[in-house]
Chains A and B, each alone.
Chain A
C-alpha cells in the first residue's frame, strides 16, 4: 500500500514535471496545451493520493474540463501558422532563466532549511471519509466571506470577458 502510494506519487510527479517542461518548450501551442492538460491531470492524481477527492474533481472539472477547453478553443480560434515559424523565446531568455533559477534556489534553500518542521497533520478519519462534506462545511462556514468575494471576482471576470470578447476595441 505504502509502496504503491510512493510509486504513484513519484510517477505522477515525474509526469507532471516532464510534461510541464515539455509544455514550456513546445513550438506548437496545441501540443503545449496537451502537455499542460497532462500536468494538470497528474496534479489531480496527486490530490487523489492525498485523499482530497473533492479537490481532485474540482481540478479536473474546472481546470481540465473548463479552463483548458476555453484555452484550446481560443487557440483554435486565433491559431496562426505563421507564429509557428517564428522564434519562440524572447530576448530576455538568458537573464530570465538565470533569475528564475536564482529565485528557485532561494526557495529551495528556504524549504531545505525548514523541511524538518514541515509536516501535514494526520487527517481525522471523519474528514477523510467525508471529504466533500468537510470541504463544503469549511467553504460555507469558515470561509464564507472569501467564498463570496471569489464569487464576485468570478462575476466581474465574466462581465470583463464578455465585454472584451464582444466589443470591437
Chain B
C-alpha cells in the first residue's frame, strides 16, 4: 500500500478533511465567527480537491491496466462465515477501505471541484442567513459522505456513504426547519429514499449470498468463476434491486417525487446535492456494478426504458412549471433519465460523461437561478420576473451558456454527452432513441422558456422588489464564471472521433467497464458509419433549434398564446400542470394507507395491548401484592411488633431510671459507691472474724 505514490496512498485523507471540519462546525461552530467558518469549510474542501487532483494526476501516470489502487484502513466488519446460495462456505468481510480507479477518480474530481465552487458560492449566498455554521457543517458532512460513497471499495461502505448523503440531504432540505413545507419536504425525501434503500440493501444481501463477496474488485472474478449464464434470474434480481435503490436516490420513476419538493432547501444545496452530485449516485452505482448488469439484459432493458420514460415524463412536467427551481428540478429528473438510458443501453461511459457535464451545467443553472432569486430578494416565480438580462448581466450570460449546454447546442458540453447517449440508444433501439430525441427538443423548449420568461420580455417584477435588484457578490459570480467555462469546455474532454477527436474521456473510463460483456448482437439499424452519426446530430440540432424558436415565439412574440393553448388543451393541461397527479396518487395508495395502518395499530395498542396486556397485568400484580401486604402487615410485621412490644414492656422500668438528668446519674453513682463501700465493710467484717 505504501508503495503507491503519495496522493494515491493517502486517498483516505480526502473524505477526512470535510469530516473534521464538519465535526468542528457541529460541536464548536456556534463560537466561531463567519470568516472562521468560511476559512475552515472552504479550506477543507479545497484541500480535498487538491488531493483529488493529485490522486488523478498520479493515477493517469500509471499504466492503463494498473489503474486500480485499493487502500484498506482496517477490517470494519470482520469475517463472518456463511453459506452461499450454492452451498459453499464464504466469509462476509467488509473493509473500511477505499478504492481509486478512473470512475471514482472522475467522481471525486466532480464532487470536490463542483463542491468547492458551491462552497465558495454559499459564503456569499448564505451570508445573511441564520445557522451559518450549521449549514456549512451539514454541507461538509455531505461532502464526507459523498466522498465515502464514491471512494468505497465495497458495497457496504458504499451503502454507508449512500445513507450518509441521504441523511445530509434530509438535514439540508429541512434547513429552514421552521417552515413546515421545508421540513415536510425533508421527510418526504428521506422516506421515499428509504424505499429505494430497502431494495439496494436487499441487492447487497443477495450479492453477498450469490457471489460470496461485496468487494467491487472481486465481483468480476466471482462472476467469471460462477459461470453464470446470460440473463441468470438471480443476477437479474440483483440488478433490479440495485436499480430500485438507484431510482430512489436518482429520482427515477416511480420514486422521483421527492426531488421537486427538495427544492425547499437553500439553492446551493439544490445545486450541489440535488443536481450535481448526490442524485447521480444511482448512475454511479449502476456503473460501478455494470458487470452484473451486463449479465442481466432484461434488467438493462428496464433501466433503459425507465430512464427514457422518466426523461420524457419529467420534461413534459417541466414545460408547464412556473417556479424557476421546480423547472430545473424536473429538468434534473429528465437528465438523470438520460443517464439511465445510457446505462440501460450499455453505454456506461456515456452515462458517466453526461453525469459530469450535467454536474457542470446543472450546477451552474441552479447557482445562476440562485443568483436570480438572490437578486429578486427571494422571488422564485417566473411569472414575476422578466427583462433581467441587463440588470444582472453576469448571471444572464452564464445562465445562457448553461442553457445552451443543456439544450445541446454544438459545441457546448451538453451536446457532446447527450448526442453520445442518443447515438448509443439509436444503436440499441430506435424507440428509445425517439423518446430521447423528442425529450431533447422539449428540453430546449422549456429551458429557453425559462430564459425568456426570466431575462427577456417585459418586466413583471413586483414594484417594491424592483428597486433592490442587484448583481450578486463576487464570491457568487466567480463560481458561476468557472462553471460557465466548464459548461462550454467540459465536453471537449471526449471530443468525438468524427470531429477528429479521440474520445479520451471514454477511453479513460473503459477499464472500469467489465470485460466480461458478451459480444453484443450487431445493431439492427443505426448510423453504422460516421455519416450516420452526423445525420443524427444534425437531426437533433434541428429539433433543438425548433424548440428554441417555439419558445421564443410563445414567450417573446406572442405572449398571450401560452394561456390560450393551456385553455384549449383543458384537461390535459391540468393533468400535466398537476404533475399527472402522481403525488395525489401516492397519497391515496400508500401514504394514507400507511397512516390508516398507523391509526389502526394505535387503536390496537390502546385497547388490546394497554387495556388487556398492561392494565390486566397491573391489576393482577396489585391483587397479588394486596394479598402479600396483608400477610406482611399482620403476620410478618405483627410478629415483630409483638416481640418489640414485649421488649418495650420489660424495658419500661429500666427506662424510668434513665431520665437524661446528669444529677440523677450522679446519684446512682453515689448509690453504687455506697454499695461498694458497704460490701468492703462486709468483707472486712468477715475477714476480721
**Direct contact between A and B judged by beta carbons closer than 8 A:** yes
Residues of A within 8 A of B (CB): 90, 92, 95-96, 99-100, 102-103, 106-107, 109-110
- Flag whether B619 is at the interface (Cβ < 8 A): no
Residues of chain A lying within 8 A (CB to CB) of residue B678: 106
Please tell me if the beta carbons of B664 and A92 are within 8 angstroms of each other in the complex. yes
Q: Is the CB of A90 within 8 A of B663?
A: yes
Measured CA separation A115–B664 after assembly (Å): 33
Once bound together, how far apart are the Cα atoms of A90 and B663, in whole Å? Answer: 9
Min C-beta distance of B296 to chain A, whole Å: 89
- B575 at the binding interface (Cβ < 8 Å): no
Q: How far is the CA of A100 from the CA of B670 in the complex (A)?
A: 7
Kindly report which residue of chain B lies nearest to residue A100, judged by CB atoms. B670
A99–B681 contact, CB under 8 A?
no
Query: Which residues 285-344 of B sit at the A interface, judged by CB distance below 8 A?
Result: none
Give the distance to chain B from A116, nearest Cβ to Cβ, in Å: 15
In whole angstroms, what is the CA distance A63 to B303 when docked? 114
Residues of B within 8 A of A99 (CB): 667, 670-671, 674
Given contacts A90-B661, A96-B663, 6 further A-B contacts (CB under 8 A): A92-B667, A96-B667, A96-B670, A99-B670, A107-B677, A109-B681
- Interface residue? B39 (CB, 8 A): no
In the complex, the answer to whether B681 meets A106 with C-beta atoms within 8 Å is yes
Question: In the complex, A99→B674 CA distance in Å?
Answer: 8
Q: Is the CB of B671 within 8 A of A110?
A: no
A96 to B674, CA, bound (A): 12
10 A-B contact pairs sorted by A residue (CB < 8 Å): A90-B661, A90-B663, A95-B667, A96-B663, A99-B671, A102-B674, A103-B670, A106-B678, A109-B681, A110-B681
List of B residues within 8 angstroms of A102 by Cβ: 674
Q: Is B612 an interface residue (CB 8 A)?
A: no
Q: A103 near B663 (CB under 8 angstroms)?
A: no
CB distance from A90 to the nearest CB of B (A): 6
Residues on B with beta carbons closer than 8 Å to the beta carbon of A95: 667
A110 cross-chain contacts in B, Cβ below 8 A: 677, 681
Taking residues whose C-beta sits less than 8 angstroms from the other chain, chain B's interface range is 10 to 19
Interface contact A92-B670, CB-CB below 8 Å: no
Q: In the complex the two chains form, what is the Cα distance from A99 to B677 in whole Å? A: 13
Alpha-carbon separation in the docked complex, A84 to B205 (Å): 100
B79 interface residue (CB < 8 Å to A): no
**B677–A103 CB distance below 8 A:** yes
* B673 at interface by CB-CB < 8 Å: yes
Going nearest first, the 3 A-B pairs with the smallest beta carbon separation are: A106-B677, A99-B670, A103-B674
Closest to A107 in B: B677
Q: Among B664, B673, B681, which residue has its beta carbon within 8 angstroms of that of A103? A: B673
Neighbouring B residues of A106 by C-beta, 8 Å: 674, 677-678, 681
Closest to A96 in B: B667
A107 to B677, CA, bound (A): 8
Give B680's nearest chain A residue, CB to CB.
Answer: A110
Nearest-neighbour CB distance to chain B for A29, whole angstroms, equals 17
The residue on A at minimum CB distance from B663 is A90
When chains A and B are docked, how far (Å) is the Cα of A90 from the Cα of B661? 11
Instruction: Look across to chain A and name the residue whose beta carbon is closest to the beta carbon of B673.
Output: A103
A92 to chain B: which residues have CB within 8 Å?
663-664, 667
Residues 17-69 of B at the A interface (beta carbon under 8 Å): none
Give the docked Cα–Cα distance between A115 and B560 (Å).
147
Q: In whole angstroms, what is the CA distance A56 to B342 when docked? A: 123
Cβ–Cβ < 8 Å partners of B677 in chain A: 103, 106-107, 110
User: Taking CB as reference atom, which chain A residue is nearest B677?
Assistant: A106
Measured in the bound complex, the distance between the Cα atoms of B677 and A109 in whole Å is: 10
Contact residues in B for A100 (Cβ distance below 8 Å): 670
Residues of A contacting B663 in the complex (Cβ-Cβ under 8 angstroms): 90, 92, 96
How far apart are the CA atoms of A31 and B661 in the complex, in Å? Answer: 25
- Complex alpha-carbon distance, A44 and B475, angstroms: 105
